[in-house]
Amino acid sequence: MIEMLEGKVAIVTGGSKGIGRAIALEFADRGCDVAVAARGAEALEGVRKEIEQRGRKALALPTDMADDDALEKLYEKTIETLGGVDILVNNAAAAKGGRCSRVTYDSFEHVYKVNVWAPLRLAQLCRESFKKRGGGVIINIASNGGLIGDTGLGIYPSSKAALINLTRTEAKDWGRDNIRAVCIAPGLVRTDMAESLVAYMEKNPEKNLNPLRRIGEPEDIAGLAALLASDSGRYLNAETYIADGGEYSMGVFDT
């Protein structure tokens, strides 16, 4: 039986494509109304139509995750349009490539504002609705690089490490209100952000060292997110669930 999310409302950031789009559509397939947010209005509108084609209500709101006013507007419009929030998926992310020697304060501030502060601020806002509705779920999308670090990605892996720890703290702070906070740490997934690395791996399959020997698809992450958001995951809290084909667990990261 497919676990349903009937009667639930979710906000999915970074919801116009890739992992965010896949999660939004998976949730809609399971009976959830969904608000999707990202910067690209045209792509968001396409996802809104896909959600509505599944018979669910949808809100598509272009949102700059580095803008606090935009985050508040996203929450308020979701309440106004969809009636509340039960699930928050913090998937939007910023990445500045290059070695650590190239990181500037401006790039550091931007990455941490989008990858750590925005998820926290949205969780703070959604907490009000969670409490009114008897509980809620925060799903933070991190990276397996947040567990071990990675090269050539600047401050991005450390921001994901911060997000992983933030998840644990939210779970401890808000568990008494029946608010769960969990984290997903994907490995390489076929998304626009990872386009160059995906192309490299496809040309050099021997370099893909995860035991499954394949690149992850956005739908691989969406199924896990649906489990974590559902009643079947009601006792799952504070943990980080690694979805990388076994790469991290096998200790096969390049160093």
Tell me if 175 is assigned to some domain.
yes
Q: What is the dihedral of CA 56, 71, 91, 50, to 10 degrees?
A: 20
Return the pLDDT at 250.
80
User: In this structure, what DSSP letter does residue 32 have?
Assistant: -
Q: Which of 156, 200, 235, 248 is catalytic?
A: 156
Predicted confidence band of residue 255 (pLDDT cuts 50, 70, 90): very low
Q: What is the pLDDT of residues 157-201, one digit of tens each?
A: 999 999 999 999 999 999 999 999 999 999 999 988 888 878 888
Give this prediction's pTM.
Answer: 0.95
Tell me if 255 is assigned to some domain.
no
Question: Could you confirm whether 248 is annotated as catalytic?
Answer: no
Q: What is the pLDDT of residues 92-142, one digit of tens each?
A: 999 986 789 999 999 999 999 999 999 999 999 999 999 999 999 999 999
Q: Is 3 in contact with 226 (CB distance < 8 Å)? A: yes
Q: What percent of the chain has pLDDT over 70?
A: 97
Q: For the chain, how many structural domains are there in total?
A: 1
CATH number for the domain that contains residue 118: 3.40.50.720
Tell me if 102 is assigned to some domain.
yes
Return the pLDDT at 99.
86
Buried b (16+ CB within 10 A) or exposed e, 84-114: bbbbbbbbbbbbbeeeeeebeeebeebbbbb
Q: What is the pLDDT of residues 9-30, one digit of tens each?
A: 999 999 999 999 999 999 999 9
Tell me if 248 is assigned to some domain.
no
Tell me if 129 is assigned to some domain.
yes
Tell me if 202 is assigned to some domain.
yes
Give dist(CA 149, CA 234) in Å, integer: 30
Average pLDDT over residues 203-209: 84
Its domain, for residue 17, covers 9-241
Tell me if 4 is assigned to some domain.
no
Q: What is the pLDDT of residues 212-230, one digit of tens each?
A: 999 999 999 999 999 999 9
Tell me if 246 is assigned to some domain.
no
pLDDT of 33 above 50: yes
